[in-house]
Structure 1
Amino acid sequence: MGLMQQKPARVRILDAAHELMRTVGLARATTKEIARAAGCSEAALYKYFPSKEELFVHVLTERLPRLLPLLGRLTVEPGRGSLEDNLTQIARQAALFYEESFPIIASLYAEQQLKRKLDDTLRTIGAGPHVPMRALDAYLCAEKALGRIRPDADTTAAATLLLGACVQRVFAYDATPTGERPPVDAFAARVARTLLGGISVAAEPARPATGA
């Protein structure tokens, strides 16, 4: 506790919220328990975060692998690097983000009232699970404008396919004989190559898979 108390209160609250949300889920992580774990009062918690929903958003943006900054940078600077490398970066970061966020949000689907409240909060502050998809769509559109993606490519569908594959990696492999998820680097590379096979122009074909 002594080491934790040396941290600023806001940092302690975020650390405690991240740990509790990760271990017991968002629905069961109460502000009272978070404040206790952070070594502060609920009043102090609300000084920094007006609601549990907004605290959750800050946990996502400050404690989990950061996806939106990467997408924003690529959208501002389309044409830099190869499409395959860029999409591999995105797939890797998305896979890591969903791997850490899914245990936090999974419990919400058993608490529909709380989920609706969270959805309302996210809409109010311009956040939500649709935001990365729109950001990736914007990046792909920027690349299409530069001629690196086929003019008839459906960028919205492509964004959905890439991020959807990353979500599937979180839970779809639990029932396999090994119960192991594919290693994130090899997974990201394969997803990027496969997606490029459908949207890239002939001038920049996807490199063939190596069986990773």
Structure 2
Amino acid sequence: MTGGGRGRGRPDTGVREAILAATEAILAEAGVARLSTREIARRAAVAESSIFYHFTDRLGLLQAVVRLHLPRYHEVAAEVGRSAGGGSLRDNLVRLLDALDAYYRRITPILAAVQADGDLRARFAERGADGAVGPQRALLPVVDYLAEERRLGRVRADLDLEPAALVIVATAYQRAVFHHLGAPGGPADTGRVVDTLLPALATP
């Protein structure tokens, strides 16, 4: 855990943010192959030891990057949840899917890094056993929203909420994968996706 002097003029209060930004940049540009603490420290212009001080280990750093974007998705999900019964079901679902899409576009490189490392994958699963972290954090707000719309009579009474939410979340994740792989033409826009799903969700 050696490295250059702290900050090279950067205020101590910005070290954590600089490390997170450098981690995201490296993953987006070069993937997990170049994600070493030395390279992160060089890009962030901080001491390598500061990475371990702020995040304990590499897994802690990756989890912090995921958490960095989760609040914004939850804000949108909460806003959509408050809109249950108002506006149109279609518009609410498009906004929810757009928020999920943006979230997964940011964290897909981090998920790929975890999947590519057996030790990281096992430790991520272990740390997520209590539900505090992990993919279910994106699923639950969708379940809650659909449950409220069902209570208000706009979503089918017989709808199995968790599988329906899983389809929405999986669609957002797959769209992010298409984006990162540069699939020709890209996936269908979120409006078309919602129009396809809506007959199975909405009350006739």
TM-score of the two chains, using structure 1 as the length reference: 0.77
Gaps of 5+ in 1: 203-212
User: Contact 2:81/2:144 (CA < 8 Å) preserved in 1?
Assistant: yes
Gaps of 5+ in 2: 1-6
Distance 1:175 1:21 in 2: 14
TM-superposed deviation, 1:137: 0.9
Corresponding residue of 1:88: 94
Q: Does 2:10 correspond to 1:5?
A: yes
TM-superposed deviation, 1:166: 1.9
User: Contact 2:69/2:103 (CA < 8 Å) preserved in 1?
Assistant: no
Range with greater deviation from structure 2 (14-23 or 29-38): 29-38
Residue identity opposite 1:201 in structure 2: T
User: Contact 1:13/1:35 (CA < 8 Å) preserved in 2?
Assistant: yes
Corresponding residue of 1:209: none
- CA RMSD across the alignment: 3.0
SS in structure 1 at match of 2:72: coil
TM-superposed deviation, 1:89: 0.6
Corresponding residue of 2:108: 102
TM-superposed deviation, 1:26: 4.3
Distance 1:36 1:119 in 2: 29
Distance 2:26 2:171 in 1: 27
Q: Rate the CA distance shift 1:174–1:8 in 2: closer, same or farther, 3 A.
A: closer
SS in structure 2 at match of 1:44: helix
Residue identity opposite 1:196 in structure 2: L
Task: Report the identity percentage.
Answer: 28
- Counting matched residue pairs gives 197
Corresponding residue of 2:190: 188
Whichever structure has more helix as a proportion of its residues is 2
Distance 1:23 1:122 in 2: 27
User: Contact 1:32/1:42 (CA < 8 Å) preserved in 2?
Assistant: yes
Kindly provide the CA deviation profile for residues 29-67 of structure 1, in whole angstroms up to 9, marking residues without a partner as x.
123321222111233223322332232222223258932
TM-score of the two chains, using structure 2 as the length reference: 0.80
